[in-house]
Amino acid sequence: NAGVTQTPKFQVLKTGQSMTLQCAQDMNHNSMYWYRQDPGMGLRLIYYSASEGTTDKGEVPNGYNVSRLNKREFSLRLESAAPSQTSVYFCASRLSGGNTGELFFGEGSRLTVL
Amino acid sequence: GENVEQHPSTLSVQEGDSAVIKCTYSDSASNYFPWYKQELGKRPQLIIDIRSNVGEKKDQRIAVTLNKTAKHFSLHITETQPEDSAVYFCAAHRLHNTDKLIFGTGTRLQVFP
């Protein structure tokens, strides 16, 4: 049982390059989330997916796109990276509708945009 | 949508002292209030949660209290230890809904030996 797995763990991009962060969970959770965490700051929601086939904007969606590929996988794409997107990105999942609302996080992906 | 405010942003205590972190929320329909701990370089992990049908919950040295009328809830850590040093986040949402899951801005707790 791996939980929530994110790849890559580290990435350096140049301004204007694109990349996709991958996330997969093996807990049969229906809801998945992408957060970013800037140094010394909190967790800000980028996008979330309540269930397979649906995605919604969070607090800071500009510059990002997401795809809920299937129930297990939720990817985050940066089409044209900017230095302001330098951050640590966390994917998370939970079982909505269950008796616990616990959010399970991946280990994080540290992205640097030069 | 829900808005969660968290105070203080930083908190320094001596080992053995108590620490209290407070959060307020805006959506009176929220019924689930979790607290997450994030150690340096690690992922956030749930340490305790409370539902709206109870006013207090304890787990060893940590406790959470909820005041639904005032729409605020607090994390209490007693007999603090250096390993309690971390960033703590609160959140508030409706347990059986699939809403945005918004966190408070976090509190960096430092426990000095």
For B1-31, how does the pLDDT look when each residue is reduced to its tens digit (9 = 90+)?
788 999 999 999 999 999 999 999 999 989 9
The ranges of chain A with pLDDT < 70 are: 1, 98-99
B45 interaction partners in chain A (CB closer than 8 Å): 105
B35 interaction partners in chain A (CB closer than 8 Å): none
The answer to whether residue B72 neighbours chain A at the CB level (below 8 Å) is no
Residue B97: pLDDT band with limits 50, 70, 90 = confident
Q: What's the pLDDT at A98?
A: 67
User: Minimal Cα–Cα distance from B1 to chain A, Å?
Assistant: 11
Nearest CA in chain A to B35: A102
| Strand (E) or helix (H) holding A23 | strand A19-25
For chain B, positions 73-92, list CB contacts with chain A under 8 A. 89, 91
**Nearest by CB: A51 against B95, B98, B101:** B98
Q: Give the dihedral sign, CA B91/B92/B98/B99.
A: negative
Q: What's the pLDDT at A82?
A: 97
Q: What's the pLDDT at B98?
A: 67
Q: What's the pLDDT at B93?
A: 87
Q: Compute the C-alpha angle B2/A6/A14, nearest 5°.
A: 95
pLDDT single digits (tens) B74-92: 999 999 999 999 999 999 9
Residue B35 predicted with pLDDT over 90: yes
Residue B59 predicted with pLDDT over 80: yes
Nearest CA in chain A to B86: A40
